[in-house]
Chain A
Amino acid sequence: MSDITRSDVAHLARLARLAVTDDELDVFSGQIDAILDTLGRVSDIPDDVPPTSHVAPLTNVLRPDEPAPSLSREAALAGAPEAEEGRFRVPRILGESQ
């Protein structure tokens, strides 16, 4: 029932920010297609069954609006691949074509 193509996988990889190689596209499209074939069995389940997203029987779990200590700036930036002027440095946000 699944019909995931190579170009579908390329689209998924782009959405998920994975620069997959051509070889990977071949392997993944076969595997994902096979996996989705077996997973598609859930389609037998009647539509009128309500969904379950949370299993713990909890509602209204809230936190009082009271300040807690933040990290020091040094600790916050300690893991940064690059930092500058107390900020996280990242590559330019727009691509060349934009």
Chain B
Amino acid sequence: MSELTRLSAAEIARRVQAREVSSVEVTRAHLDRIEAVDGGLNAFLHVDREVALAAAEAVDAEIAAGTVRGPLAGVPVAIKDNVATSDMPTTCASHILDGWRPPYDATVVRRLRDGGLVPLGKTNLDEFAMGGSNENSAFGPVRNPWDASRVSGGSSGGSATATAAGETPLAIGSDTGGSIRQPGAFTGIVGVKPTYGTVSRYGLVAFSSSLDQIGSFGRSVLDAALLHEVIGGHDPNDQTSIDAPLPPVVEAAYAGARGDLAGVRVGVVRELSGEGNQPGVLAAFTDAVRVLTDLGADVVEVDCPSFTYAVPAYYLIAPSEASSNLARFDAMRYGLRIGDDGSHSTDEVMSLTREAGFGPEVKRRIMIGTHALSAGAYDALYGKAQKARTLIVRDFAAAFEYCDVLVSPTVPVTAFPLGERVDDPVAMYLADLCTIPTNLAGNAALSVPCGVSADDGLPVGLQIMAPALADDRAYRVAAAYELARDTSSGTPFAETIPEPAVLETTS
């Protein structure tokens, strides 16, 4: 691995902007890295060397002329392939979007370009972001850099793996029920789900509109914060976007790195932090909580009894919205068309195309959602799930009366073997227990690595949840924790991520 692909985004930005290295060199190093390792990892669905290098060259020229577009100007970034890009395909890892190139850029993509970041390509995901293992991609699963026989997590598995494996310093993901935090935890990097409404969804192909949120991946808390500030903020193209200043997340990451959490009240959510977790996960989490105490935080236990409704509520609301959001994939205006041989009507062509174009998980969720919204089931299923949402919002509100942030393991388990849970959707769904409540309530949460599990040597994530529009609190705690973690181990955690060249032999 080239030295350039080990650097943090902050350090790359500093060097490029000081003209110690060019963005073209940095971009080329990452493109080379993708070429070297992605065959085994399958994190990228689309990479365009020339487009990326041309963008880098333009940034270099601007910097040479004295213009720096933003704090991350010149830094490469990978984009999850459910975010619309006008110069690259957008597939959502589904055959139904075969051949589609959006005629527009998502707001976050426009902000990346405006900020001088260099898009490297589009990353793999569970089809339409439905899944937690990346095994639902129509283009094959993403492998975990720590162990190629294991899942990367999902649905933003491509973005997480690409960042962990040094293919990119930064990546964009989307998080509907944990799809940034969970793969972040599985691959040992930082993954952030911002407050709902603070990062525009315009151009994010909708899975579940009331839950979806775009967020950032980085190998450090500061990197994730820097990217968060580039993409965040009010956007009139998204009417659920909040017209308020973005919480000062970069400032909070610097503040946290001063290593003092005195006066910060941390609540350990009892419902998420107990026996349901693997022993190694629980041990790593408990250790992380002890570190927070050492940093001066005031740690208490809190109850959020309604969180037990989160998984069922989520698996009703998300499929319901998805059944409607995905209705537009009908072979009429874009994407795949099957069966248009003159003998079939539009209805038949729609049905044949959707049958051929969607994978089993997507079909399953569309049918569950169609059922949950139907006249006979609405009150008992969708309606009750919305009531559950109210209870979860109330639990958070009560907990945040006492606590500045709440913590839990990000996922109760570590990255599991590929194929292990494919035929057991229910077991798969339960792995989202800890991440889902935040999506239902719309507040902020991030996952920061907290060592590895003693059971299997795989990374464990510490989830830090903050109230809506107080994302900065989670960053402050995460940055303080990150520094203490690396100080005590003597090695930055990011540098302990194994070299994928090794895993190629094991895969």
Do chains A and B interact in one complex?
yes
Give the interface of A toward B (CB within 8 A). 4, 8-9, 12-21, 24, 27-28, 31-32, 34-36, 38-47, 49-58, 61, 63, 71, 75-76, 78-82, 88, 90-96
Q: How far is the CB of A95 from chain B (nearest CB, A)?
A: 4
B426–A78 touching, CB < 8 Å: no
Q: Which residues of A contact B345 (CB under 8 A)?
A: 91-96
Set B364, B370, B393: member contacting A31, Cβ < 8 A: B364
Set B99, B389, B468: member contacting A52, Cβ < 8 A: B389
Instruction: Mark B373-415 against chain A: 1 for CB-CB distance below 8 A, else 0.
Output: 0100000110111111111010000000000000000000000
B442–A56 touching, CB < 8 Å: yes
Q: How far is the CB of B107 from chain A (nearest CB, A)?
A: 14
Q: Which residues of A contact B210 (CB under 8 A)?
A: 53-55
Other 18 A-B pairs with CB < 8 A, given A24-B360, A36-B371: A8-B371, A17-B351, A17-B354, A32-B368, A35-B425, A42-B316, A42-B384, A45-B388, A46-B387, A51-B389, A52-B389, A56-B196, A61-B239, A79-B103, A81-B334, A88-B332, A90-B346, A92-B345
Q: Is B309 interfacial (CB-CB < 8 Å)?
A: yes
Instruction: Mark B294-338 against chain A: 1 for CB-CB distance below 8 A, else 0.
Output: 000000000000000101110110000001000100111111110
Given A75-B103, A79-B333, A18:B236 Cβ within 8 A: no
Q: Which residues of A contact B349 (CB under 8 A)?
A: 90-91
B316–A52 touching, CB < 8 Å: no
In the A-B complex, the 8 residue pairs with the smallest Cβ-Cβ separation, listed nearest first, are A55-B442, A79-B334, A51-B386, A81-B337, A56-B197, A42-B384, A19-B355, A19-B351
* SS of A interface (majority): loop
Tally of contacts, chain A with chain B, CB under 8 A: 184
Q: Which residues of A contact B334 (CB under 8 A)?
A: 79-81
Q: Which residues of B contact A13 (CB under 8 A)?
A: 363, 367
Set B100, B354, B383: member contacting A79, Cβ < 8 A: B100
Q: Which residues of A contact B358 (CB under 8 A)?
A: 18
Interface residues on B, range: 35 or more
Q: How far is the CB of B98 from chain A (nearest CB, A)?
A: 10
A-B contact pairs, 16 of them (CB 8 A): A17-B327, A17-B350, A18-B363, A28-B360, A28-B364, A28-B367, A39-B312, A42-B385, A44-B309, A53-B386, A55-B196, A56-B240, A81-B336, A90-B332, A90-B349, A95-B348
Q: Which residues of B contact A55 (CB under 8 A)?
A: 196-197, 210, 389, 393, 440-442, 468
Q: Which residue of B lies closest to A14 (CB)?
A: B351
A42–B426 touching, CB < 8 Å: no
Q: Which residues of A contact B442 (CB under 8 A)?
A: 55-56
Given A52-B390, A79-B334, A31:B425 Cβ within 8 A: yes
Q: Which residues of B contact A44 (CB under 8 A)?
A: 309
Q: Which residues of B contact A82 (CB under 8 A)?
A: 337, 340
B101, B352, B381, B441 — most chain A CB neighbours (10 Å):
B381
B352–A19 touching, CB < 8 Å: yes
Q: Which residues of B contact A31 (CB under 8 A)?
A: 364, 425
A40–B312 touching, CB < 8 Å: yes
B390–A51 touching, CB < 8 Å: yes
B386–A52 touching, CB < 8 Å: yes
Q: Which residues of B contact A92 (CB under 8 A)?
A: 345-346
Q: Which residues of B contact A81 (CB under 8 A)?
A: 331-332, 334-337, 340
The docked-state distance in angstroms from the alpha carbon of A50 to that of B387 is 6
The docked-state distance in angstroms from the alpha carbon of A58 to that of B469 is 13
Q: How far is the CB of A68 from chain B (nearest CB, A)?
A: 10
Q: Which residues of B contact A18 (CB under 8 A)?
A: 351, 354-355, 358, 363, 366-367
Q: Is B420 interfacial (CB-CB < 8 Å)?
A: no
Q: Which residues of A contact B441 (CB under 8 A)?
A: 55
Q: How far is the CB of A19 from chain B (nearest CB, A)?
A: 4
A91–B380 touching, CB < 8 Å: no
Given A41-B312, A56-B197, A4:B371 Cβ within 8 A: yes
A28, A36, A45 — most chain B CB neighbours (10 Å):
A45
The docked-state distance in angstroms from the alpha carbon of A13 to that of B352 is 11
Q: How far is the CB of A45 from chain B (nearest CB, A)?
A: 5
The docked-state distance in angstroms from the alpha carbon of A47 to that of B194 is 31
